[in-house]
Chain A
């Protein structure tokens, strides 16, 4: 039995320790916003935050998050106490304002990576964005808008 916090709620799961967090979230906890797209941490579609840092849920064993705090796309805008998470709200609103999505399948991973970037670097340069986001694939190539949107969200956060 492993116990951790997901999007502000404590959960306990009775699964093998080596079960990847991705499949615990998707198949056990029905949090399907976090996506499966590769098996080797090559694409970033499964990016979630563990204790505030971005990780690839497909290669993170559930045992490794025991006692920790996991944030998925479903929880990026609100913290455990129900308060708005500024970076999460700014990213989600900017994502909608600039209409980033196409097929949408990778966007959860993109947005969690973007939130993580802005929480550690509120004023990222293009190079900072490339460094933080290049591990997260988008086959629709929404990259131009992702870059613009992260700058836009940063401006909102600074205001």
Chain B
């Protein structure tokens, strides 16, 4: 049965003003660089989200950036479903920066954050498709002089079976564009979905990304453009005292060398402007710069973590609590300062453990970059743009213009994992600052700022380091009498455009989200200490706070299961008795992994282990079973990960599976090797030899099982990442009896990788659990 919906935000709809170039795929160089589009009265633009051309092309406009998570495919699926379009005719292009038309209500601005895209788009994108369909049907009915009720639409073909008339969308666009908008449209019953939930639907961006034509910011070249490489200080906050560019200027192809001003949240430095990237890089290498470090910060990650350990011994701010006060007070009794301790008090068992996670870089494959052109009317920016509204405001403030004068063209992002949504617009403002400095020297041309891998890795804005100290009382019946979790670490939301929404009474909700998990506990108390004087620039990283709260929570749950001498699966299952949805996900993962049957024995004396973790974030619940082997030589191999995910109605099963595989891989990488360290204010890592990434031979088989559901869809971009670290260390415990409470699992991996860089001969999966 159809449901009727009134169209929201009618003011955002445009009809009759026919702009744009039909059939232009996102990322096409000419589209990105094209002048103002010409009016074309045959193109049909029923609303802000779709354009239909006379060639039958259906161009879906995505307010969200495609950075690998499959959002272009997801949004197009929603719209094409209700339009009954032929998937082969569907293309997607990135929306311009325009908060009046393209805000994501979940974050109150235009941007792509926190796995909210599908949640927010589910209704409006389907309505947009249904509206376009209704107008095409009305146009056909008018032309054919028949009732619209007798018209069917399937795979882009509009038919009137009674009269035998049929045509494709393109023949009706001009007529449809002249019709008044419908007051309301009908949406399909989910039982009628053909594209939504279809596992055979392929990604919209696959074609361009497999022939070299997909356009990333790094690839963009505009007439007259200069490439800028900037020398940054090695310590955050330092500024240029003096510099000598004589040698740089002597290099053929170096056009100019300009110092540029920085800000509280982005680098100042010296930029070399050149006709190509390599010359700019050579020019930068030839600079001699004396830095003024009087205002520079000198954070040291080892000292920071040592301080956090001390802070975790004292109460923090109460962030969340529930349940019995008496049990809470029992849990807050003073305990020994050891990393983990267990003691019996009467017939309850007291357990206390401390967990630590380091700073992490996002390290997307495409290092940060941004193209800026100052214009008479303001400026144009081309970027793998993830936070349009905030970036417009930042750039406008720097140049003393209005946000509307900042045009942003959204290109593909070569990964991001959160980095391109910088809360302070760091690299974007650096590019604007350089463009301004260049213009002052007479170079009023497009400027493409390129960060090298080292610039990117040393550029700050890391996932903050955290220490968690959890103290729990286990009742004799295996239930959790109390749980007190102290969390210590920097706030990523304070000072960000999301501060008002995320920080309440000094508690950054993103620092504690997910702590304690979905489990039944008779009393729960989450305390937070947020040091405000740590000078390491931090930022959200794939799955934000869940990336560390899941680790601490799911490790502790496993420790409690062991203390209760209960199977970790059954222990969790009991605690989820009141949470059928989460328990069903747990059951699915356990069943698919064959949890109740013993693992096949390892070969050559290898000890095998299986670990479980479950975590829910932003509405999506994921349970993982990790299967590992620890060889006689104490080498760790991750053999298989079984994943169960409930993300509501699955929109693109193929994308969901890919995001689980990728999210698990990204978290595996961080669990095994990831750590940014700072020594006296200098970031120690600069490239993939020091910040070891996951490589093919260390990637386990990953079996993904999607829970069937009719609930509204929720996101999948972040949610695969949080549970893998605890699943892994829980598996190591199962195999060896050794608890690993500090990530990464083996810091010594870097040394072994540095010894054999980049080759398959190196074995980054080699790890000695006993040594950590």
Contacts and interface: CB of A to CB of B under 8 A. Distances in A.
B364 interface: yes
B212 A139 contact: no
Given A104-B205, A104-B412, A141-B664, A27 B695 contact: no
A25 B218 CA distance: 13
Interface string A20-40: 100100111011111111111
Given A23-B277, A130-B760, A140-B662, A108 B688 contact: no
Contact of B202 (A31, A96, A133, A140): A96
Interface in B207-228: 207-216, 218-219, 221, 227
Contact of B278 (A23, A32, A96, A143): A23
Contacts of A19: 278
Task: Report the interface size class on chain A.
Answer: 35 or more
B363 interface: yes
B658 A142 contact: yes
A134 to B, nearest CB: 4
Contact of B365 (A43, A96, A143): A43
Contacts of A106: 365, 414
A101 B688 contact: no
B757 to A, nearest CB: 6
A29 to B, nearest CB: 11
Contacts of B203: 99, 101
B413 A134 contact: no
A30 B697 CA distance: 33
B366 A134 contact: no
B662 A42 contact: no
A133 B69 CA distance: 23
B666 A141 contact: yes
Contacts of B453: 37-39, 43
B343 interface: no
A144 B698 CA distance: 10
Interface in A81-128: 92, 95-97, 99-108, 111
Interface in B260-290: 276-278
Interface string B331-372: 000000000000000000000000000000001111100000
B68 interface: yes
Contacts of A104: 68, 205, 208-209, 214, 412, 414
B418 to A, nearest CB: 12
A32 B212 contact: yes
Contact of A37 (B205, B366, B654, B665): B366
Nearest to B702: A144
Contacts of B365: 35, 37, 43, 45, 103, 105-106, 137-140
Interface string B143-166: 000000000000000000000000
B699 interface: yes
Given A42-B758, A95-B210, A102-B68, A137 B277 contact: no
Interface centre among B69, B276, B363, B695 (most CB of A within 10 A): B695
A139 B209 contact: no
A141 B699 contact: yes
Contacts of B214: 104
B760 to A, nearest CB: 4
Contacts of B665: 140-141, 143-144
Contacts of A97: 202
Interface string B98-136: 000000000000000000000000000000000000000
A35 B701 CA distance: 27
B366 A27 contact: no
B405 interface: no
A49 interface: no
Nearest to B698: A134
Interface size grouping (class) on chain B = 35 or more
A133 B760 CA distance: 8
A55 interface: no
Nearest to A92: B210
Contacts of A27: 221, 227, 276-278
Given A42-B687, A139-B364, A141-B666, A131 B760 contact: yes
B527 interface: no
B523 to A, nearest CB: 39
A74 interface: yes
Secondary structure of the A side of the interface?
loop
Contacts of A20: 278
Contacts of A23: 276-278
B604 interface: no
B744 interface: no
B415 interface: yes
B212 A108 contact: yes
A134 B415 contact: no
B218 A36 contact: yes
A67 B694 CA distance: 37
Given A23-B278, A38-B687, A137-B365, A103 B415 contact: yes
Contacts of A6: none
B758 to A, nearest CB: 5
Contacts of B577: none
Contacts of B696: 129-130, 133-134, 136, 143, 146-147
B752 interface: no
Contact of A101 (B210, B367, B452, B695): B210
Contacts of B227: 27
Contacts of B413: 103
Interface in B674-714: 687-689, 693-697, 699, 701-702
B205 A101 contact: yes
Contact of A102 (B70, B208, B452): B70
Contacts of A140: 68, 365, 415, 662, 665-666
A139 B666 contact: yes
A36 B453 CA distance: 9
B591 interface: no
A144 B701 contact: yes
B666 A107 contact: no
Nearest to A146: B696
A87 B634 CA distance: 40
B206 interface: yes
A69 interface: no
B211 A92 contact: yes
Contact of B209 (A26, A77, A107): A107
Contacts of A92: 210-211
Contacts of B212: 31-34, 72-74, 108
A34 B296 CA distance: 38
A43 B414 contact: no
A102 B660 CA distance: 12
Contact of B206 (A41, A77, A99): A99
A21 to B, nearest CB: 10
Contact of B366 (A42, A105, A144): A105
Query: What are the 6 tightest A-B residue pairs by CB atom distance, in nearest-first order?
Result: A33-B212, A141-B665, A105-B414, A103-B68, A104-B209, A102-B68
Given A27-B221, A102-B658, A142-B661, 9 more contacts: A39-B453, A40-B687, A100-B210, A104-B205, A105-B365, A106-B365, A106-B414, A139-B365, A139-B693
Interface of B: 66-70, 202-203, 205-216, 218-219, 221, 227, 276-278, 363-367, 412-417, 452-454, 654, 658, 661-662, 664-666, 668-669, 687-689, 693-697, 699, 701-702, 757-760
26 contacts: A23-B276, A31-B212, A35-B216, A37-B367, A39-B452, A40-B758, A43-B688, A43-B693, A96-B206, A99-B654, A99-B658, A101-B205, A102-B658, A103-B365, A103-B414, A104-B412, A105-B366, A130-B696, A133-B696, A134-B760, A135-B695, A135-B759, A139-B415, A140-B365, A140-B662, A142-B661
